[in-house]
A and B are shown apart, each in its own frame.
Chain A
Amino acid sequence: MKEELFNLVSTGSSLTRRGFLKLTAVVSAVMAFGVDTAKAAVKWLDPRRVQKSAATQLDQGVKVVHSVCLGCNARCGVRAVVADGRLVKHAGNPYHPYNHRFASIPYDTPVRETLVLPSPVCGKSQDAPNYIYNPYRLIKPLKRSGPRGSGKFEPIEWEQLIREIADGGNLFAHLGEKRVVPGIKELNSDAPILPDAPELGSVRNGFVFIGGRDQNARKEFSDRFVKEALGSVNRIGHADICGIGFRMGNWAFTERKELEVKADPVNAEYILVFGANIYEAGQPGVNTYGATLAKRYSDGKVKFTIVDPRATNASTHAENWVPIKPGQDGAFAMGMIRWIIENGRHNKSYLAASHPKAAAALGHASYSNATHLVIIDPGHKNYRKFLRVADLDPKAPEEEGKKYMVLAPDDRPVPFDTAGEAVLDADRTVMADGGRAIKVATSFYLMREGVMEHTVAQYAALAGVEAAQIARTAEEFTAHGTKAAVTQYHGAGNYLSGTYASYPVAMLNAMIGSVDRKGGYLKSGGGAAKWNEGLYDLKGFASKKKSQGAAISREKFAYEKTTEFKKNGYPSRRPWFPFSSGGLCVEAMSGIDQQYPYPCKILFTYFFNPVYSIPGGARYIETLKDSDKVPLHVSIDITVNESNLYADYIVPDVTYAEGHYGFLTPHAPAAKFTGIRTPTIEPLTGKTADGRPFCEETFLIDLARAAGLPGFGDQAIKDKNGGLHSLNTAEDYYLRAIANVATGAKVPEAAPAEVEFVEKNYPVARFKGILPVGEWKQVCYVLARGGVFNTPYEEVFDGEKHKFGLKRVVLYNEDLATTKNSITGEYFSGTLKYTPPRTPKGRDIEAIDREYPFSPVTYKMNLHSQSRTTSHAWSMEVFPTNYVEVNEKDAQQLKLRNKDKVRLVSRNNPKGIVGQVKVTRLIRPGCVGVSHHYGHTQMGASALPIRRAAEVFLGGKRVANAKGLKGDARLGAGLPFNAISRLDEDFANTPLVEVCGGIPDFSSTRVKIQKI
């Protein structure tokens, strides 16, 4: 398809293709103007000449760089136009599938032919200049010069920053603080962190690094310092607030292999959207996923239904909107599955295929374990596990003994890979060698039993919808063969029952057999090549540490392995999350607050704003203020935010326009490529004495060198021939990583004109001497195109099969079934089971907080990402504030009208937050909608007593006066829902989390609306 597209574009021989249409317009435009307008310009004054409209890629003297956006984590391509060293405009990258609804131009197209091609990118990216040149950006390191949270900071020299953090000491004696602050060197020790509990690891784990906006390669760069040089397990991501809820469903469904799986927007006929804001947010974002669906909707090729308490912008093209009760996606999906089974609409042949070959014979790339037998005999040593050959025949050879068992059509138990078709729905007693009877049931049987615990009508009541709506949706979902699938996101599970809500949502795809099918439920196709191995080994180094013990978030670690368990049994003091996919920043913060399972000594936060971004995050203000709980806090960020306001040091970082933000592989679904984010302009932060920019990499390199940690500095990187290279600048790492990608993907050397293009336009070309000439030329080929995009979308399929698919999905998850809830000591269900939203201690907040009648629906808007886009000045012109969105029925009852001022209060925040009402028909009654992004108190919203502020902030005197930083109230517009989120009274009033995955709760808070 792509080849065809480009042919049309380049020869002008067809009238049908979109790309050609655009090109025709371009060409026509060229022909139309020229002489005439040149003449006309003499006669009249065009406002654009006065307003100095932004340069285009065709203007004299501009530079053009292909890179990848980070306006949000969708990571579309960008074509950056740089005039006089300043980024003036983003468009899309014509090579990048995300800018072209998955059908970009052929990868080998010469760059010179592409610069005139139109390429779209979304509004968040278009607003990049305001993010990059945000006057509130920090350009110098800050040290606290008053009590934590006072906002008093002063700029310090780089050398002082490094020395103090490496060495520790009486760092704040001048402020009257007598305590000795720990430095990095102090934690470089193998002594146990708690002498009585060696399983928790060494004192190294007292170092905690929590990342907000992590990106591949930068994340690994942090790991190199945290896990491998210092040896702490605590490099914690933020997947929990990003949306671990729906991911836990996929995690269970894929046996901990995949987090994100989505409906194929290019080929599906029908998509059921659960809690995914496909026309505003998501990854791929509106620019890709939303646009693909919109275009196909206009062509009459796809229909979709939205299951969400809020209609979302996608309602404009949706077949149906199901305004579900928040926190009840699982009930709706379970109701659908019951209806599907009872009406015999499930794909029996897919489910009955017991092994990969049987499924492949039916045209499937994946198979399920629906027929596999599970031991349901509580007395059996393998209770809750699969029946394996060895359970029946202990003398079976080892490999053979591990095989799952199924029932052949004649009811004989046989190894799963020998059956043609196996019995799908049965419980039986089978006889082991020696005559022992074992009670077993198929995975499907157990799943069905779970589903049958409630009727469709009961599920409908729980979900707050009509039973007929469940039936209608199930009928439509099963009416497209395998060309239908679910797309779920944050809303489908980021709450107290999340794991058991999103698991049935994922399961719907197995019911119709659309897993790994074109038009079905697809994972990402992966990257084009590895960046951290090949020519250069960016993973290993001499004296590399192996981090050990339990994370402070207790993710991926079983409570049963701890000394505490051996002493006290159940319940644990706080939940442990052995089955979680991890990235639990909320429980990491709560662990720091409770010094559980051990105390934190040094906290580094990277682009992380827990006070603002975590529901109930304001609870952590007292944590961050407490120097016993956080003896040293260093923030790496681009602005002062609501959290690093309490830090001891703030290290300024570069934005993605100035730094190396890594290698971007596709999100689900399907596609296969590696985008490369390379600087489009020179760094705007200050510089070290030897000319390196202040940024995360320079900081960690210098800190490691000062603290005597391995892996950084001279001779830190090994090449494949055993040669050693230094790691003293970010480019030492990233340029070699690009060389790994370029050579791994076997791209050709760039033609001389393209080498020249890169060398004249790309800031990174200054460092080309790091690489041998041949490697540099291959790197140029990749940089000139913004990454490696050499696999067209259609080529990820072999007929109807996704080549890079899940391969296997499960109706019963053995690991989950044998994991225990660390609070109750009970097993988690290994299959679907309707689970009401309850706190870890079993509290029903809806019942407890009955006097607060409304449920929140928080969401992202199309022109914002979570927390750092108030600097997007043009977007703020369009949407200066957010609102308190109330259904017109509720508004009538409460006598509310548009723009009325109201206060939202909750049990944990009786003072509440104030906002303006917006009356709407696009939200479920009983719900109150509040978008994220607004209600900031920092990032420029408040004045701060920062010394020499004019030197500290990018905006200089524009934003500073004698007292410090001047605030701009417009940046504080609107209200932040997270400020009133419910806390958990059973666990020191820390934010609520779900007990299996550690899912932070965005839906269980109850609020009252008070008219002011």
Chain B
Amino acid sequence: MSERRVFMKNGLIAMVGVASLAVASGKEVSASTRKWGMIIDLNRCCGCQSCVIACKAQNKTVAGSFNTRVISLEDGSYPNSRIAFTPVQCNQCENPPCVPACPLSATFKLPNGIVVTDWNKCEGLGTCVTACPYEARFLDKRYKGTEGGKVDKCDFCLHRLEQGLLPACVEACDANARLFGDLNAPTGEFAEYLKKTELTSRKAGLGIKTGVRYLPNRLSKQGGAL
């Protein structure tokens, strides 16, 4: 089967760490039907921040800003109190409010569901930053736009996906709280999770359909719907 073939090929090419998977896998299949999504199970999240640092290490985002963060809140009153974690990032919205907010059309959604920013066009106007209801976008002032930088955000580690690797945060998640897959053709645990009726999105009241969904922690009142 083709999946196995690709896997073995990856393995062979990766042997001495000199692979170029994009070339190797380019002949396999077309990408037209893929739509990437993530489910974060808060029953598994330990709040360990491994995803946050893995993202930093991989993506070199500007100091003090993050493509992904872990929000922690306190739930319940003492002594029946507990901590509640919610990893957050760009939700790769179905109809992203950031896209129409950019007068330069610098930000757009790829057919695979990932919202990206074209740094050839981005001038750091910041209209997308304020348009995002999730505070998932920020300015990277190390690079020059006409207005104070370029806008950065999570892109599900597109460059890793191209190599056949999982997003850095997903790989780093030791409890497997971050599940990653194709929303159009889900398989495995990701497919099982997609069926769960408790799945929710952040700020569900906004009615935005998101590519990142949450399974709330059954013990906490907060978290997941922040």
Q: Which positions in A face B, CB cutoff 8 Å?
A: 10-12, 15-18, 20-38, 40, 43-48, 50-54, 56-64, 81, 88-92, 99, 101, 110-116, 118-123, 126-127, 129, 279-280, 286-288, 290-292, 294-295, 297-298, 311, 313-318, 321, 323, 753, 756-757, 760-761, 862-863, 873-875, 877-878, 887-889, 920-922, 924-925
Q: Which positions in B face A, CB cutoff 8 Å?
A: 1-4, 6-8, 10-22, 25-32, 34, 36, 41-50, 52-54, 56-61, 63-64, 66, 69, 72, 74, 76-85, 110-112, 116-121, 140, 143, 150, 152, 155, 158-166, 170-177, 179-182, 185, 187-191, 217, 219-220
List 14 additional A-B contacts (Cβ < 8 Å) besides A33-B158, A91-B171, A316-B82: A12-B1, A12-B4, A25-B166, A25-B190, A30-B28, A44-B120, A56-B163, A81-B17, A110-B11, A115-B17, A122-B172, A279-B46, A878-B69, A921-B78
List 28 contacting pairs A-B, 8 Å CB cutoff, sorted by A: A10-B4, A12-B4, A18-B189, A20-B188, A22-B166, A22-B180, A26-B165, A28-B34, A32-B36, A34-B26, A35-B31, A37-B158, A44-B119, A45-B118, A48-B158, A52-B60, A56-B165, A89-B58, A90-B57, A101-B174, A116-B165, A121-B172, A298-B43, A314-B46, A317-B43, A323-B78, A753-B15, A874-B52
The answer to whether A874 and B174 have CB atoms under 8 Å apart is no
How many Å lie between the Cα of A126 and that of B42 in the bound state? 22
The answer to whether A316 and B217 have CB atoms under 8 Å apart is yes
Chain A residues with CB under 8 A of B175: 101, 290-292, 294-295, 298
The answer to whether A51 and B60 have CB atoms under 8 Å apart is yes
**Nearest-neighbor residue (CB-CB) of A862 within chain B:** B48
The answer to whether A51 and B61 have CB atoms under 8 Å apart is yes
Give the contacting residue for A286; candidates B34, B46, B185; CB below 8 A: B46
The answer to whether A58 and B181 have CB atoms under 8 Å apart is no
How many Å lie between the Cα of A37 and that of B158 in the bound state? 9
The answer to whether B25 and A34 have CB atoms under 8 Å apart is yes
Distance in angstroms from B142 CB to nearest chain A CB is 8
Distance in angstroms from B139 CB to nearest chain A CB is 12
Distance in angstroms from A589 CB to nearest chain B CB is 34
The answer to whether A30 and B182 have CB atoms under 8 Å apart is no
Distance in angstroms from B160 CB to nearest chain A CB is 6
How many Å lie between the Cα of A113 and that of B21 in the bound state? 14
How many Å lie between the Cα of A70 and that of B51 in the bound state? 19
The answer to whether B159 and A48 have CB atoms under 8 Å apart is yes
The answer to whether A60 and B18 have CB atoms under 8 Å apart is yes
Given A58-B14, A126-B54, A21:B187 Cβ within 8 A:
yes
Chain A residues with CB under 8 A of B63: 873, 877
Given A113-B8, A294-B44, A295-B175, A47:B84 Cβ within 8 A:
no
Give the contacting residue for B15; candidates A28, A115, A122, A317; CB below 8 A: A115
**Nearest-neighbor residue (CB-CB) of A110 within chain B:** B11
Distance in angstroms from A226 CB to nearest chain B CB is 37
Chain A residues with CB under 8 A of B50: 120-123, 126, 286-287
How many Å lie between the Cα of A315 and that of B4 in the bound state? 41
Distance in angstroms from B49 CB to nearest chain A CB is 5
Chain B residues with CB under 8 A of A127: 53, 56-57
Chain B residues with CB under 8 A of A122: 48, 50, 172, 174
Chain A residues with CB under 8 A of B111: 36
Given A15-B191, A16-B188, A90-B57, A50:B119 Cβ within 8 A:
yes
How many Å lie between the Cα of A12 and that of B158 in the bound state? 24
**Nearest-neighbor residue (CB-CB) of A923 within chain B:** B78
How many Å lie between the Cα of A241 and that of B213 in the bound state? 43
How many Å lie between the Cα of A27 and that of B77 in the bound state? 46
**Nearest-neighbor residue (CB-CB) of B112 within chain A:** A32
How many Å lie between the Cα of A317 and that of B170 in the bound state? 21
How many Å lie between the Cα of A18 and that of B177 in the bound state? 11
How many Å lie between the Cα of A862 and that of B53 in the bound state? 11
The answer to whether A30 and B30 have CB atoms under 8 Å apart is no
Chain B residues with CB under 8 A of A46: 116, 119, 155, 158-159
Distance in angstroms from B122 CB to nearest chain A CB is 8
The answer to whether A45 and B190 have CB atoms under 8 Å apart is no
The answer to whether B11 and A58 have CB atoms under 8 Å apart is no
The answer to whether B52 and A35 have CB atoms under 8 Å apart is no
How many Å lie between the Cα of A54 and that of B180 in the bound state? 21
The answer to whether A863 and B31 have CB atoms under 8 Å apart is no
The answer to whether B30 and A294 have CB atoms under 8 Å apart is no
Chain B residues with CB under 8 A of A26: 7, 10, 164-166
Chain A residues with CB under 8 A of B53: 123, 126-127, 863, 874-875, 878
Chain B residues with CB under 8 A of A63: 17
The answer to whether A922 and B159 have CB atoms under 8 Å apart is no
How many Å lie between the Cα of A279 and that of B187 in the bound state? 30
Give the contacting residue for A121; candidates B14, B174, B191; CB below 8 A: B174
Distance in angstroms from A29 CB to nearest chain B CB is 4
How many Å lie between the Cα of A88 and that of B60 in the bound state? 11
Chain A residues with CB under 8 A of B46: 279, 286, 290-291, 294, 313-314, 316-317, 862
Distance in angstroms from B8 CB to nearest chain A CB is 7
Chain B residues with CB under 8 A of A113: 7-8, 11
**Nearest-neighbor residue (CB-CB) of B65 within chain A:** A877
The answer to whether B25 and A31 have CB atoms under 8 Å apart is yes
The answer to whether A116 and B15 have CB atoms under 8 Å apart is no
Chain A residues with CB under 8 A of B120: 44-45
**Nearest-neighbor residue (CB-CB) of B58 within chain A:** A54
The answer to whether A119 and B171 have CB atoms under 8 Å apart is yes
How many Å lie between the Cα of A60 and that of B69 in the bound state? 30
The answer to whether A321 and B79 have CB atoms under 8 Å apart is yes
**Nearest-neighbor residue (CB-CB) of B223 within chain A:** A316
Give the contacting residue for A37; candidates B31, B166, B170; CB below 8 A: B31
Closest A-B pairs by Cβ, 6 of them? A30-B164, A44-B118, A21-B188, A298-B43, A291-B174, A123-B53
The answer to whether B174 and A24 have CB atoms under 8 Å apart is no
Chain A residues with CB under 8 A of B179: 21
How many Å lie between the Cα of A294 and that of B87 in the bound state? 15
The answer to whether B25 and A30 have CB atoms under 8 Å apart is yes
Give the contacting residue for B219; candidates A92, A287, A317; CB below 8 A: A317
Given A21-B181, A51-B60, A120-B174, A27:B164 Cβ within 8 A:
yes
How many Å lie between the Cα of A291 and that of B175 in the bound state? 4
Given A116-B10, A121-B50, A129-B57, A294:B177 Cβ within 8 A:
yes
Chain B residues with CB under 8 A of A877: 56, 63-64, 66
The answer to whether A38 and B22 have CB atoms under 8 Å apart is yes
Chain A residues with CB under 8 A of B187: 15, 21, 24, 28
Given A60-B18, A91-B171, A112-B11, A297:B43 Cβ within 8 A:
yes
The answer to whether B180 and A25 have CB atoms under 8 Å apart is yes
How many Å lie between the Cα of A127 and that of B55 in the bound state? 10
The answer to whether A126 and B172 have CB atoms under 8 Å apart is yes
Give the contacting residue for B171; candidates A28, A111, A118; CB below 8 A: A118
The answer to whether A27 and B174 have CB atoms under 8 Å apart is no
Distance in angstroms from B134 CB to nearest chain A CB is 18
**Nearest-neighbor residue (CB-CB) of A52 within chain B:** B60
The answer to whether A37 and B82 have CB atoms under 8 Å apart is no
Give the contacting residue for A112; candidates B15, B28, B49, B74; CB below 8 A: B15
Chain B residues with CB under 8 A of A119: 171
Chain B residues with CB under 8 A of A292: 175
Chain B residues with CB under 8 A of A297: 43-44
How many Å lie between the Cα of A44 and that of B18 in the bound state? 26
How many Å lie between the Cα of A298 and that of B66 in the bound state? 27
How many Å lie between the Cα of A127 and that of B50 in the bound state? 9
Distance in angstroms from B86 CB to nearest chain A CB is 10
The answer to whether B28 and A31 have CB atoms under 8 Å apart is yes
Distance in angstroms from A857 CB to nearest chain B CB is 14
Distance in angstroms from B113 CB to nearest chain A CB is 10
Chain A residues with CB under 8 A of B165: 26, 29, 56, 58, 116, 118
Give the contacting residue for A31; candidates B11, B29, B76, B217; CB below 8 A: B29
